Structure 1
Amino acid sequence: MTTHPGFVFNFQVTKAAEKDKQIVFAGHSSGSPIAIYATVWFLEEYIRSNKKQTSHPPLCLTFASPLTTDHTFCHAVQREGWSDCFVHFVMKLDIIPRILLAPRSSTTELLQKIPRFLDPHHKADEAKLASIFVNVMKNASCVASYAACALTGSKHTLFDTMSRFIKLSPYRPCGKYVFCTETGKLVVMKNPDAVLQLLFYSLQIESETELQKIAVASLKTHWTYKDALDKSLQNLPELPLSSDDTIDIGASLNDLNLCPTARQCLRAAGVSEKQKVDNQKKSVHKKDAINKALKALDDYRTTSENDGVGYYDAFKMQKKEEDFKANVKRLELAAMWNEIIEMIKQEQLPDKFEAEKEWIELGTRFRRLVEPIDIANYYRHSKNEDAGPYMIKGRPRRYHYPQRWREHAEQLERDSSGESCFWAEVEELNIASTNKKAPWKEIENRVLTLEKNLRKWYDKKEVEKDVFLEKSTLVKWWHTLPDNHKANSCIKELIPS
């Protein structure tokens, strides 16, 4: 009988974590991705879930790691604030960290032959190595140039056109990178856009005559990390892994032999990062305006409830001046949140923005107060007859995003936080039952699901009691349901008789 190695690994990690030890995952070359994903597993299992206690975040050290993380992965890691857990060491001449910037079809042969270089008697085909080296660096050039155009806002360029026909590598840097120069200096960099540029520009040849020499060196260097970094790793806590990127770059540009174009790209990466932070600071000023408008809608809701009509139905009927004013606030809030969501889509805000507690709470309050009257407006103008149901065709991104933030932060099931949009289902079920478009058996499960959710949200105070006022659309529709269903309904005690 054998024990699965995964079980042994899990047991060892659990035992070490229980003793509150620092967990370090490390890997070289193709073993690096395993270390990366093991670190993410630990972060999810022990840090984010809060199910298991440990005071030490894990540390992932990789050496000569090929890029295996894409933009989505990097966004998630940065959103959670986990970037500092990943430290990648890259030798200036090593081709392997750049190799997956080229199509897999053109690098498979090289990847298969890499182990042979462990054999000191193996003689490499220098011409073939040079060909593969050129191919990798040409593709790296396309990726870096396209990324640089995006940083500077120059998307309508040759590279933008080329990207429609040439499939660029999806892989991007994630975490801190430590570039090891030929003089033994270490350049620490955290900005992923700057790292991508350095991966390309720090491995350049000055003339065609040294191509084969550099190509061979780019593979031999892959096996020199132990000797080159042995002293540095002995003093790992003293490495400037948390220092300012600009200082490190400025002190070591000459050691990396960067050309003026490379320096411009690094500068653009720094400017882009700073602009995101500035945009976030500006968005803070929107909070006051958002809260003020939400307060006005909250007062409108209270006034409507005092009149015996829920604010959903009051807004839908639009009989009073207060209803008109509420609509103005709805439009103001929609404009402010549309601007924020567009900035997120255009990657003009830091990745951590979506995980900030204040914005998650503000987004949740915004959804619960504004989306119901957005739905009321949608069905008041019969937009469903032209565009279809609100949840399928009409729901704006300004509600999707904050809902997703909350579900992720609180580790809820996807789409379980629909307390702000249940009115759309009420409207659709009302249409189906009132107009006899669907027999009871066809909508029964939908009704049961809606009632179950309403009960849960009401008990958790996520929907207000005005939903169940006698003149409410929900209550009027519920009274039309079959008597045997109403008798056993989980919300019957909330419904006025």
Structure 2
Amino acid sequence: MANVSGSPEESIVLKEEQMKKAFSLSSKAHKSPDKLYLVEKIRSNNRSSSSEVIISFSGFGSVKDWFSETPFGETKINLNLFPSLKSVGNNEVALVNKAFLNRFEAVLGKSSFVAEVDQAMTKHKQIVFTGHSSGAAVAILATLWALDKYITPNTNRIPPLCVTFGSPLVGNHIFSHATRREKWSAYFTHFVMKYDIVPRLLLAPLSSFEQRFDPVLQFFNPKSKYFMDESIGNYSVTSEFYMAVMTNAAKTTSHAACKLMGSKNAMPDMLANFITLSPYRPFGTYIFCTGKGQMIGIRNPHAALQLLFFSAQVSTKAEAAHIAYKCLKEHVIYDDELKESLAMQNVVWLDQIEKLPLSADESDGNIAAINMALNDLGLTLRARMCLRAAGELEKQKARNEEKFDKKKFMRCLKEVEEYKANKTKRVEDVDTSKMENYRNDFQSGVLNGFEMASVWDEIIEMLRRYELPDEFESKPEWIELGTKYRRLVEPSEIAKFYHYGKNLDSGPYMGKGRPKRHRYTQRWQEHAEKKAEGACSETCFWAEVEEFRIRTRNYTSFEDVKEEVLKVEREIKRLSDEGVITKDVFVESSTFVKWWKSLPHYHKEGSCIRNFINV
């Protein structure tokens, strides 16, 4: 496939031959609804064993197989199966279509399926998950499951690929956010016909077309006597179905477009409070087939959403007369379209979409090929503006990250570390230090600490609003900075929190007292190291110590609390030996040291942390 726009290294990872084989097997699976999946092993010319394994999932036909319980059929993803499908810092779990998730879990319940995937992964074979229609939704979930289960930084296994044909949307914006963060997006390729209604279907609630949905599913079902029956595809039946889907799609895409363009008008958000908008969003790479042998590729998920809506609009009255049947027929004719498109060997990639031509008549250089493709999709000026806005949003996210100087951050961390070391040596006081004699220390230490806290708070607020690149929380340099900052600063913040009695107003530190900057950076580290939630909470240990101190400060007999005291001391020594905590937390005026000094003399003399505290 030619790469008209975009650099070669960003080209689609799916090979043409893989795509052909994937479509062939997906067609077979779609015609075999009695089987959950089909497997085909491909041998290369110079090998005796298979080098590729293609697994295709069958579609399913009843209404309950598409929607479940809620208006859009969504539910929270099962993090036990898909631990990466969340926003790490925000701790926001992805939403997924419940019916599709149930179907995948049924597949996963087959030991033969798990054994097939496990064997292919262990033998370093390329797996391609594929499917058509609702079978494509299962292929998407299977790929995400395999990526999470088998692909880690320390393994050299081949990541699975996913190629879908006429796939419905599967999950909300977290799917796109998480796959881009994990660098998985390039493994997903979705082929969509210009008018195919199924990729747009879940942008509308079931209630808007429920009475017309079962006949439509019969039209799609190869086993039904109404398969591609023109009596079902007549204008009066499916025009209402098409209008119901696209009217609701317009609400969702228009609201998204207002966000893309940074609209200050509060009306879209007000309307969203009264109109239930679809949670589903595209992710991965989309290949739009124009119906004229041309294919258009796009990787920006916000732009893909806009294209799903704008490319399926009718441009003439004559076209409108045929759209009812066309929106159904195109869902089942991918074979013909792909053969024609592959024969042309050409894909126009819309990568620098912030620079797309607004005029349909521009014809300079590469612009001619791009404009021809956009015209084939029937994109209006408004559509092109929405695509530009989607591209500009990604550029703005990158500019937002560039505001934060990582090198300056490292210098500030070093100066704060030196300041704390010096204060420990000079006055042994981080709670109520007398700063007037140490102005240079104050400038480089305390003020830098305040500045860093302010910067981190700004970063966290941007992350909360998804205004930084999706990859931000997975970048090693930011994870390292966040971990160093948390370990350096949080113990002292905890000490001050209890020293000044803030717990009396807001409750324990680990409740409402802990800043988001520490919560977020801890989650980054845990996610990067594939650890359970709370596994990297070593800096929070001091909050537990303070709460323990409060609970036991009025003990009647030391023997009653001795075992708990010994446990706390052993943990403190372990953390100190590992370099997680520094000596500044043992200063004279800290609440912990004051409490520890109140313990019996005979215990302190034999304590494992005796050398940490100046008795």
TM-score bracket, normalised by the shorter chain, equals: 0.7 to 0.9
Q: Distance in 2 between matches of 1:115 and 1:45?
A: 34
> 5+ unaligned residues in a row in structure 1: which ranges?
none
CA contact 1:89–1:179 (8 Å) conserved in 2: yes
**In the aligned structure 1, how far is the partner of 2:156 from the partner of 2:393?**
37
User: Counterpart in 2 of 1:72?
Assistant: 174
Aligned partners of 1:46 and 1:53 also within 8 Å: no
Q: Which moved more, 1:182-191 or 1:419-428?
A: 419-428
Tell me: CA distance 1:249–1:235, structure 2 relative to 1, closer, same or farther (3 Å): closer
Output the CA distance in 1 between the equivalents of 2:612 and 2:421.
Answer: 19
CA distance 1:449–1:100, change in 2 (3 Å): farther
Aligned to 1:317: 432
Whichever residue aligns with residue 223 of structure 1, its letter is: V
Task: Please state how far the C-alpha of 1:215 moved relative to its aligned partner.
Answer: 2.1
Aligned residues: 485
Instruction: Deviation per CA, 1:48-76: give whole Å up to 9, x if none.
Output: 274x541x221100111111111122211
What is aligned with 1:38?
142
Alignment match, 1:181: 290
Aligned runs of 1:17-416 on 2, under 5 Å?
Answer: 17-48=121-152, 50=154, 53-54=156-157, 56-117=158-219, 118=222, 119-121=227-229, 123-124=231-232, 126-206=235-315, 211=320, 213-230=322-339, 249-283=370-404, 286-307=405-426, 309=428, 314-321=429-436, 322=438, 324-325=442-443, 326-416=445-535
Call closer, same or farther: CA 1:328–1:261 in 2, change over 3 Å. same
Q: Structure 1, residues 96-146: CA drift from partner, whole Å, max 9, x if none?
A: 000100113334455533442142446216423221211111111111111
d(CA) in 2 for partners of 1:304, 1:133: 71
- Tell me: CA distance 1:444–1:213, structure 2 relative to 1, closer, same or farther (3 Å): farther
Counting helix residues as a fraction of each chain, which structure ranks higher? 1
8 Å CA contact 2:299–2:351 kept in 1: the answer is: no
Q: How big is each residue's C-alpha offset from its partner over 1:146-186, in whole Å with a ceiling of 9 and x where there is no partner? A: 11111111153432211011111111111000000021210
Range 143-152 or range 328-337, more displaced? 328-337
Counterpart Cα distance in 2 of 1:130 and 1:22: 42
Residues 106-115 or 391-400, more deviating? 106-115
- Distance in 2 (CA, whole Å) between partners of 1:448 and 1:254 is 75
State whether structure 2 residue 541 is matched by structure 1 residue 422: yes
Aligned 8 A contact 2:298 2:350 in 1: no
Check whether the contact 1:433–1:439 (CA below 8 A) recurs between aligned residues.
no
Cα distance 1:89–1:440, how it changes in 2: closer, same or farther (>3 A)? farther
Greater Cα shift, 446-455 or 226-235 = 446-455
**What is the CA–CA distance in structure 2 between the aligned matches of 1:445 and 1:471, rounded to whole Å?**
25
C-alpha distance after superposition, 1:246-298 (max 9, x if no partner): 67854511111111111110111111111112222332xx2233222212211
Q: How far does the alpha carbon of each residue in 1:411-441 deviate from its partner, in whole angstroms, 9 at most, with x for none?
A: 12212212233332222222232256x9999
The aligned amino acid for 1:104 is L
Output one character per residue of 1:210-246: Cα deviation in whole Å (capped at 9) or x when no partner. 546312210111001122113556999x867796666
In structure 2, relative to structure 1, the CA distance for the partners of 1:441 and 1:138 (3 Å cut) is: farther
Distance in 1 between residues matched to 2:523 and 2:605, nearest whole Å: 35
Paired amino acid for 1:334: A
Structure 2 unaligned residues grouped into runs of 5+: 1-106, 357-365
Cα deviation, residue 15, structure 1: 1.9
CA distance in 2, matches of 1:155, 1:104: 31
Whole-Å Cα distance in 1 between the matches of residues 192 and 269 of structure 2?
29
CA contact (8 A) 1:337 1:398 kept: yes
User: Matches of 1:15 and 1:488 in 2, distance apart?
Assistant: 56
8 Å CA contact retained: 1:29, 1:96: yes
| Separation of aligned partners in 2, 1:193 and 1:25 | 24
- Aligned letter for 2:433? Q
The answer to whether the Cα contact below 8 Å between 2:172 and 2:280 also exists between their aligned partners in 1 is: yes
**Structure 1 residues 440 and 356, CA, compared in 2 at 3 Å: closer, same or farther?**
farther
Amino acid at match of 2:191: F
Compare 376-385 and 27-36 and name the one that shifted more.
376-385
Q: 1:370 to 1:217 in 2, by over 3 A?
A: same
Correspondence for 1:457:
575
CA contact (8 A) 1:151 1:268 kept: yes
Cα distance 1:53–1:141, how it changes in 2: closer, same or farther (>3 A)?
Answer: same
Q: Report the 3-state secondary structure (helix = DSSP H, G, I; strand = E; otherwise coil) of the residue aligned with 1:25.
A: strand
AA aligned to 2:123 is K
Separation in 1 of the partners of 2:303 and 2:282? 9
Paired residue type of 1:253 = L
Structure 1 Cα separation of the partners of residues 203 and 531 of structure 2: 36
- Compute the displacement of 1:301 (Å): 2.1
SS of corresponding position for 1:183: coil
8 Å contact from structure 2 (residues 430, 584) kept in 1: no
RMSD: 3.5
Amino acid at match of 2:403: K
> What amino acid maps onto 2:262 in structure 1?
G
1:18 CA displacement = 2.8
- TM-aligned CA distance change 1:137 to 1:446, over 3 Å: farther
Equivalent position amino acid for 1:76 in 2: A
Code of the residue aligned with 1:463 in structure 2: it is I
Residues 226-235 or 212-221, more deviating: 226-235
Where do 1:475-494 residues align within 5 Å? 475-478=593-596
Alpha-carbon distance, 1:353 to partner: 0.8
8 Å Cα contact 2:294-2:347 kept in structure 1: no
